[in-house]
Structure 1
Amino acid sequence: MELDSTDWALLGALQADANPSNQALAQALGISPPTALRRTRRLRDAGLIARQVALLDEDKIAALQGHGLTAIAEVSLDRQGAEHLDAFERRAVQEAAVAQCWRVAPGPDFILVLRVADMPGYQDVAERLFTQDANVRNVRAFFAVRRAKFETQIPLSRP
C-alpha cells in the first residue's frame, strides 16, 4: 500500500486526536469530508489504524478507586527455545493485569508492564505468571512511583 501526503496527514491527525468529526478532520486537513471518510476507512481496512480508544488518566482513576499500582517486570527464562518463549508470551498476554508485553534482547527475555490494584494484586499475578512456571529463572520487578511521560503517538516520517 502506498501512502501520499494526505494519508500521512490523516494518520498524524488521528493519532493526535481521534475524536473530531469527519467534517472537522476534513476542514483541518483541507480536504473534502467524503475524501477524509474514504481515506480513513481505507487506512483502517489496511490495518494501519489498529483501533480508536479513550486514554484514561491512570492517576485520576487510581485516586477515584483508592488504589492502583504499576509494575515493570524483567523476566528471564531458563530455556529460550522458540516454543518456550512462545509459551510464556501466550500466558502473559492472556493475563488481564499485563498491559504491555515486550520480547527483548539482549538481557531479559521479556519486559512486562503490569497494572494491578495493590501489592496483594501484584503477588497474585506474580504467582500465576512467575512462580508457577518452572521455566522462569529470574524476575526483577520495579514499582512506578511517578510517570514523567506517557506518549501514544508514533513519529511519522513521510517518504
Structure 2
Amino acid sequence: MSSLEAAEFLDAVDLALLDRLQQDASLSNLDLAAAVHVSPPTCLRRVKRLREAGLIQRQVALLDSDRLGRLLGHGLEAIVEVTLERQGAEQMEAFERRVVADDAVQQCYRVSPGPDFILLVRAADMPDYLALAQRLFTSDANVRNVKAFFSVKRGKFNPKVRLSRP
C-alpha cells in the first residue's frame, strides 16, 4: 500500500490508536481497545492494517539513559555536524550508508542549509568518541568539516509524531 493510499484510510479511530500506541505500545489489545473506545477485534484489525501500511514502523523500549548511566557509566552523547567536500548524490549516499551502519550513530539527518548531516552519537568515553571520529570522519577523504557538541543535560526527549491534520 502506498503512503497516499495509507493516508486516505486514516480516520479518527486510526489516529487515536496511533496516538495511544506512541504513549504506551505495551498496552494489551484489550486495554488499547478500551482506551480508544472500539471493540477488541476492531482494534486488532486496525492495528494490523496500520502495521501492514508501514505507519507503525516498529515497537521499541525507550530506556532511561540517566538511570542506566548511573549503573553503567554515563558515556558521552554528542550532536555532530558534518560537511562534505563534494555533495553529489553518490557521495551523500555513500557517507550516509557508512554512518548509519555504525552502532554508535543513533540518528542521522541530511539537513539544509548549513552542514550536510547532523548525527546524534553515543560513545562510552572520550577515547571511544575519538575512535568513532577516526572511523567515521577522519578516514573519509570527502569529509571537509566536523563540529561536535557534547550534551551536558537533555531537557526534553519525545519521539512522538504529531498526528493532527493541518
TM-score tier, shorter chain, comes to over 0.9
**Residues 105-140 of structure 1, C-alpha deviations (whole Å, 9 max, x = no match):** 000000000011111110010000110000000000
Q: Is the CA contact (8 Å cut-off) linking 1:7 and 1:39 kept in structure 2?
A: yes
Equivalent residues in 2 for 1:4-153 (5 A)?
4-153=11-160
Ranked by relative contact order (alpha carbons within 8 Å, sequence separation 6 or more), the top structure is: 1
Cα distance in 1 for residues equivalent to 2:90 and 2:125? 32
In structure 1, the gaps of 5 or more residues are: none
Q: Measure, in 1, the Cα distance between the counterparts of 2:152 and 2:128.
A: 17
Q: Distance in 2 between matches of 1:67 and 1:5?
A: 42
In the alignment, residue 150 of structure 1 is paired with which amino acid?
F
Aligned partners of 2:94 and 2:81: how far apart in 1?
17
- Deviating runs (4+, > 4 A) in structure 1? none
SS, match of residue 91 in structure 1: helix
Deviation of 1:66 after TM superposition, in Å, equals 2.0
* Structure-2-length-normalised TM-score: 0.93
- Residues 8, 158 of structure 1: 8 Å contact kept: no
User: Unpaired runs of 5+ in structure 2?
Assistant: 1-5
* TM-score of the superposed pair, with normalisation by structure 1: 0.97
1:154 to 149, 156, 161: 161
Paired residues in the alignment total 159
Give 1:60 shift: 1.1
C-alpha distance in 2, partners of 1:158/1:27? Answer: 24
The CA deviation at 1:146 is: 0.2
